[in-house]
Structure 1
Amino acid sequence: MTIPTPSITPPPIGDELPEWLRPRVPAGFKPLSSPARLCCIMQKGGSGKSTTAVCLACELALKGFRVRVWDADAQRGGATHWLAPQLGDGAGEPANLLHLFKGEASPDQVTYPTRVPNLYVVPSYTSLKQVELAPPPGVEQVIDWAINNTSEPFDVEITDCGPTLGQLSVAALVGAPNVVIPLKASGFDLDALTELNRTLALTKQRLTPHLQIVAVLLSEVLKSNLTSEVFEALCGDYPDSLVMGVRQSVKAREASLESIRLPLHEYAPTATVRKDFQYLATQLVEGRAV
């Protein structure tokens, strides 16, 4: 990774942040108009994918958008766990993303409200791994088809991917081709980013020509020379994307704990990290506030 000087101008926000951490917005960068589709993806666990997907979704819902999160992560403890959707009587595994892939449920049947007004989720469980082991016909197109065949369209669709670049992640990218990449300033994450870029290039070439990287987020940033260098390098490597740091926060980690499971804006409404997600929501999706 080279570290060129990016030809972009910081926006008029975040005066309390050090210069190296302020969001970098390319000239001509424009928020997406609704209906907007966003995919949070990174080929590594612990990079901040679910935190980004959930917190971004909450902030957009609070702005008045009708938002749906697709939990395309077959691991336990992702967006489904944090958002705690209203799943009915709790008898057995409710209709979820696996049933949609298998053709056993409709998009409406796997969409559930959450405690946040305007925010819905398509849940998943570890059973979703079946999609990787025995992919159904047309697996890459399922989420895109489901979004297009929902009876009451959403203003914003956000897919939350697992830490692997398999069939589920490709389906998430095809369904939501505006990519948000969270990562940390570490060698492991930078190596994973290289692999992700290959997958994104192939997906764009073969399945989704309009795929684009709209934002790159440096998660849980702490002041250090390494963080500063990685941040500047990302600005140079992704000249057409919003690049910004998301500050480290114990509150964000606590909010998703089993004993708490509250949206960040409820659990810690004044947390500094929440300001970062509020700014991200404003930059990524053009729209109204309520």
Structure 2
Amino acid sequence: MRETREKVQLQPLDHDLAFLDITTEWDLSSSYHDWRPSIAVPATFVPATIPRVIAICNQKGGAGKTTTALELALALIARGLRVRIVDVDDQEASISVWLRYYMDDRPEELRYNLRDLYFNAKVKLSEASYPTDFENLTFIPSFPDLGEVDEKNPVGADTCLQRRLRQGADDVDVTIIDCGPRLGQLTVSALVAADDVIIPVKASSILDMKGVAALQKVVNVVKDTLNPDLRIAAAVLTDFSRSKMTRRIGGSLARAYPDAVILPARTNVKVGEAQLAQQPLRQFAPRETTTLDYDLGARVLFGLGAAA
């Protein structure tokens, strides 16, 4: 049994720091010299309500899904919300590596994870949920054997996560699902369970846009069959820096999803340093631009405003 660690209580960031401006549309009309990157919040965007389930998806690996999931979660708990993260990524670099500390406090035979929820009906959601170092943040971990869900396609897999999350609907305000890069059964299950989809796109990568196109096909199938109310709530331009390509990619996303928020998450060396330290960026570098961008993005998505 490990020594008990004191919980980290996150505070809202100062709203007068270096946030991006908020506009109603992605700017493609001004000259590049005059262009100022901003968060585009269309007049038609409807802020998320509570409770909410959000899936973070893109077929392309390395787009920033895990960073986006974790930073949005921490921004929300800093505002007093209770958040659950579900790790639907079986890669070793997944969010479970960052948050697995508390699993060691349970006997090995009781260390359930997400795979157990798909294959063992007797395992409850609460038994596969773990606390973290952060007040009001819990998580459901996964490990490489989660890939068996895609391989074996257990009965009821499409709706499994939706049914399971309903078991703990009163325990949290927001559930954030961190999806893997494969558009298989696990991603379908996450989309069926979700109210909103947030798509991280590396701002300098045209290949990421191909991943978005592939994801959209799956989203369309899910909307037509099992979850007609699913919506694309936001696209996050990760590793964002001011360039003509980035501007075009943002414009393409704004045209594809006219009712969605387009959120730049500015590039910063601290992102990689935080990952090496196995710490969330908000804890490692709370005053850096990328942290501030995610913080304001979370406020916009839930209609919380810019002020603390």
Quick check: TM above 0.5?
A: yes
CA distance in 1, matches of 2:285, 2:106: 29
Pick from 116, 119, 140: which aligns with 1:102? Answer: 119
| 3-state SS of 1:38 partner | strand
The answer to whether the 8 A contact 1:85-1:112 is kept is: no
The answer to whether the 8 A contact 2:113-2:128 is kept is: yes
| 3-state SS of 2:233 partner | strand
The answer to whether the 8 A contact 1:218-1:245 is kept is: yes
Q: How much does 1:233 deviate? A: 2.0
Pick from 117, 120, 129: which aligns with 2:147? Answer: 129
The answer to whether the 8 A contact 1:33-1:287 is kept is: no
| 3-state SS of 2:102 partner | coil
User: Which residue is equivalent to 1:59?
Assistant: 75
Pick from 166, 172, 180: which aligns with 2:190? Answer: 172
User: Which residue is equivalent to 1:215?
Assistant: 234
Q: How much does 1:249 deviate? A: 1.7
Q: How much does 1:140 deviate? A: 1.1
- For structure 2, list consecutive stretches of 5 or more residues without a partner in the other structure: 1-22, 27-33
Aligned pair 1:75/2:94, yes or no?
no
CA distance in 1, matches of 2:101, 2:304: 25
Pick from 242, 254, 277: which aligns with 1:235? Answer: 254
Q: Please give the TM-score of this superposition, normalised by the length of structure 2.
A: 0.84
Q: Single out whichever of 184-193 and 209-218 deviates more from structure 2.
A: 184-193
CA 1:151–1:202: 2 relative to 1, 3 Å: closer
1:78-115 CA-to-partner distances (Å, cap 9, x unmatched) read 11112334113366482100011112521000111111
Aligned structure 1 segments of 4 or more residues deviating by more than 3 angstroms: 7-10, 88-93, 286-290
CA distance in 2, matches of 1:109, 1:151: 15
Aligned pair 1:43/2:62, yes or no?
no
Cα RMSD over matched residues?
2.2
What percentage of residue pairs aligned between the two structures are identical? 34
CA 1:96–1:181: 2 relative to 1, 3 Å: same
The answer to whether the 8 A contact 1:165-1:199 is kept is: yes
Q: How does 1:135-150 map to 2 (within 5 A)?
A: 135-150=153-168
1:182-222 CA-to-partner distances (Å, cap 9, x unmatched) read 01132211111111111111111111100100001111012
User: Which residue is equivalent to 1:163?
Assistant: 181
CA 1:19–1:38: 2 relative to 1, 3 Å: farther
| 3-state SS of 1:217 partner | strand
The answer to whether the 8 A contact 1:162-1:169 is kept is: yes
User: Which residue is equivalent to 2:297?
Assistant: 280
| 3-state SS of 2:221 partner | helix
Residue 79 of structure 1 aligns with an amino acid whose one-letter code is I
Pick from 251, 263, 269: which aligns with 2:286? Answer: 269
CA 1:122–1:23: 2 relative to 1, 3 Å: same
| 3-state SS of 2:103 partner | coil
Residue 47 of structure 1 aligns with an amino acid whose one-letter code is A
Q: How does 1:182-201 map to 2 (within 5 A)?
A: 182-184=200-202, 185-201=204-220
Q: Please give the TM-score of this superposition, normalised by the length of structure 1.
A: 0.89
The answer to whether the 8 A contact 2:100-2:141 is kept is: no
Q: How much does 1:256 deviate? A: 2.2
CA distance in 2, matches of 1:30, 1:283: 10
| 3-state SS of 2:236 partner | strand
1:147-169 CA-to-partner distances (Å, cap 9, x unmatched) read 11127421001101000100000
CA distance in 1, matches of 2:304, 2:244: 37
The answer to whether the 8 A contact 1:34-1:286 is kept is: no
